[in-house]
């Protein structure tokens, strides 16, 4: 059975509504569903109830740092791709967990084309990983002893 995602879900988290609006505008022509929130807790709920393909989060937020959010998302949904968005890339580089919990860091202000290309690449990688898992599962099932 093919369990490929029909439509990717991308979650954007930032404590600044203007940034969320700009992200939505930047990504409005892309073929995935965009969910935005100022609350890391909402993002965690979505990860718990939906198949979230990718999350983009600000690093500096009042409720929780972006790396803390991504650490928790990694535990709950290891296949969700993770991007940190920051206005302070120099400060973020030294943040504990940055390399472990993120695939990519993007600086504010971002380049729309680069952002879209990065997201496409990460979503494409996720699809390939899922295809590999399906093929591996099918191969394992076909090699069960005593079955033909």
pLDDT tens figures, 82-116:
999 988 866 655 555 556 667 888 999 999 999 99
User: How distant is the alpha carbon of residue 11 from its chain centre?
Assistant: 7
CA gap 146, 26 in Å, rounded = 54
Superfamily of domain 9-140: Response regulator (3.40.50.2300)
Beta bridge partners of 105: 84
Tell me: pLDDT of 77 over 50: yes
pTM: 0.81
CA distances in angstroms from 67 to 46, 106, 113, 120, listed in the order given: 17, 13, 24, 22
Report whether pLDDT(69) > 90.
yes
């Amino acid at each position: 059975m093919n369990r490929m995602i029909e439509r990717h879900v991308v979650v954007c988290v930032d404590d600044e509504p203007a940034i969320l609006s700009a992200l939505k505008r930047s990504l409005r022509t892309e073929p995935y569903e965009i969910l935005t929130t100022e609350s890391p807790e909402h993002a965690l709920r979505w990860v718990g109830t939906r198949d979230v393909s990718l999350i983009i989060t600000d690093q500096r937020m009042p409720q929780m740092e972006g790396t803390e959010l991504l650490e928790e998302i990694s535990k709950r949904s290891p296949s969700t791709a993770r991007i940190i968005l920051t206005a302070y890339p120099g400060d973020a580089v030294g943040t504990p967990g940055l390399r472990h919990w993120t695939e990519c860091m993007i600086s504010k202000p971002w380049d729309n084309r680069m952002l879209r290309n990065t997201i496409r690449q990460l979503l494409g990688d996720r699809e390939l990983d899922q295809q590999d898992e399906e093929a591996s599962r099918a191969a394992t099932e076909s090699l069960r002893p005593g079955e033909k």
